[in-house]
Amino acid sequence: MNPGLDNTRTIGGLPTKMVWGFVAMLVFMAGDGLEHAWLSPYLIEQGLTVQQAATLFTAYGAVLAVAAYFSGVLTEMWGPRKVMLIGLVTWLIGQILFIELGLKQHSYAAMLPTYALRGIGYPFFCYSFLVWVTYRSPKRIMATAVGLFWAAWSGGLYVVGSYFPAFMTDRIGYMGLLWSAVIWVLVGGIAGLLVVGNDKVSENKGDAKDKLKSLLSGFTVCIEKPKVAIGGLVRIINSVGVGALPIFFPIYLASEYNYTTGEWLTIWGTFWFANIIFNLIIPYISDRWLGWRRTVQWLGSVGCGVMTLVIFYTPQIVGHNFWVMTLVAIIFGIVLCGFVPLSALVTALAPDQKGSAMAIVSFGAGMSYFIAPAIVGLFINSIGAEGVIWIFAILYFSGAVLMKFMKLPEEEEQMERKVALKEQNV
């Protein structure tokens, strides 16, 4: 444990050091997200095609998915601080090389590997911290703790990551934004490392064979507990639609309805601002009343399926109307919070293998950033923006079907008792 931080004080039932960790995550992810909402349109303005931009994000997502998987099991093997440090260093190297060798030299060949390298960064840094959170949080507030993590994650990546460029692009330019991201990540990274200190989440001291078994544990837990695998699929669906929107939707809004980059960044930032606020509310409701599974099934899956279609068709009804689109974005951001209890649900299904279960959840999160741009790149020319939107909406609706199979043991026992009572009454 880190002696420099008080481990007995709490804020809202959470250890104070954990709360400071959430702040560090927000700052780190702000740096990681400063280019996400505008990089695709910017690269297309510089001469790349939509397919090339999508391929860049697909390569990034592929590396991110692998890193997300290994973040969980490596955290159990090495401890969170070592994995977080690797994430911080690789992010900084990837960012600097992406700017200097890729963007400045207008070299697409250099952009691909350097931007992909950066994909190791935030999964190692943030998801290893999330594993630490799941081990340090009592079950009664688990969804709340995970909700705070995702609030910090989305608050940095999308809220600050959208509003800061919206207000600063004219002052420091796109390259200035990318260099400022280095400062954000350094500050958040150092703070996060101080928070976790030398804390461990397990005592994995086995030989090479045991360590290989640990690396494969994320896949073996899916065989032993198929519901964990279903949770991983739902986690992919969770982010696939919203992960794809910045790649093609601002271009669609600009070309068809004359929305500016600044308007899009503000709408996107507001989407995530609403999300971060309700990330603090929805888990509370889920923990105490609605239940984890039903929250993910109805609010998350069905809600996002509906709002994916609404956000696309709204401009066709109202035209260029910034305030209506902002309202739609707020509602979309709220229903997305319905996926927050998924991490708590999956780890509850594998209480003795939380790190392995979280590896699958993290892998799903990473895979969404591979699958989303791949879908855009493959289908945008053949079926257009409308067809792509429908693909993502159908994926969200399929998530609701999958959640029917994600019942906790106690929920299944309750249903069995109800059936038994009903049969007795008959």
Tokens of 190: 């150092």
Name the pLDDT band for 422 (thresholds 50, 70, 90): low
pLDDT tens digits for range 66-103: 888 788 778 878 888 999 999 999 999 999 999 999 99
Q: What is the pTM of this model?
A: 0.75
Angstrom distance (rounded) from CA 51 to CA 252:
14
HSE-up (13 A, CA, CB side) for residue 176: 10
Average pLDDT over residues 285-297: 80
Q: Which two tokens stand for residue 284?
A: 């509370």
pLDDT of residue 109: 94
**In a domain? residue 409:** yes
Amino acid at 148: L
CB 129 within 8 A of CB 196: yes
Residue 211 lies in a domain: yes
Q: Which of 175-184, 252-261, 359-368 has the lowest mean pLDDT?
A: 359-368
Residues 27-62 have pLDDT tens digits of 999 999 898 888 988 898 888 888 898 899 889 988
422 within domain boundaries: no
Here the CATH number for the domain that contains residue 167 is 1.20.1250.20
Query: What percentage of the chain's residues is helix, strand, coil (to nearest 5)?
Result: 85, 0, 15
Q: Does any domain span residue 191?
A: yes
Tell me whether residue 287 is in a domain. yes
In a domain? residue 257: yes
Do the domain assignments include residue 69? yes
Q: Where does the pLDDT of residue 416 fall: very low under 50, low under 70, confident under 90, or very high at 90 and above?
A: low
Task: Identify whether 3 is part of a domain.
Answer: no
pLDDT at 142 over 70: yes
76-90, 118-132, 166-180, 356-370: segment of lowest average pLDDT: 356-370
Region of 360 please: left (phi>0), alpha (psi -120 to 50) or beta. Answer: alpha
Q: Provide the pLDDT for residue 289.
A: 72
Q: What is the DSSP letter of 10?
A: E
% of the chain exceeding 70 in pLDDT? 87
What pLDDT is recorded for position 420?
53
pLDDT for res 132:
85
Give the residue-averaged pLDDT of 307-311: 96
Question: pLDDT category, 2, cuts 50, 70, 90?
Answer: very low
Contacts of 135 (CB under 8 A, 6+ apart): 201, 202, 354, 355
pLDDT value of position 414: 61
Q: What rounded mean pLDDT belongs to the chain?
A: 84
Look at residue 382 and tell me whether its pLDDT is greater than 80. Answer: yes
Host domain of residue 26: 15-195+207-417
Model confidence at 257: pLDDT above 60: yes
Q: What is the average pLDDT across 279-297?
A: 79
Q: List helix spans (H) across 137-225.
A: 142-154, 161-196, 208-224
Can you give the pLDDT at residue 243?
85
Q: Name which of 181, 58, 35 is nearest 116 in CA terms.
A: 58
Rounded mean pLDDT of 173-181? 94
pLDDT of 205 > 80? The answer is no
When pLDDT is cut at 50, 70 and 90, the band that residue 400 belongs to is very high
Question: d(Cα 299, Cα 198) in Å, to the nearest integer?
Answer: 38
The predicted pLDDT at position 317 comes to: 95
Overall domain count for the chain: 1
* Cα 100 to Cα 31: distance, rounded to the nearest angstrom: 17
Give the total residue count for the chain: 426
In the predicted structure, residue 264 carries a pLDDT above the cut 80:
yes
Q: Which two tokens stand for residue 403?
A: 């959640």
Rounded to an integer, what distance in angstroms lies between the CA atom of residue 172 and that of residue 180?
A: 9
- The label of the residue with tokens 């990034």 reads 60
Mean pLDDT value of segment 222-247: 87
Q: What average pLDDT score do residues 325-352 get?
A: 87
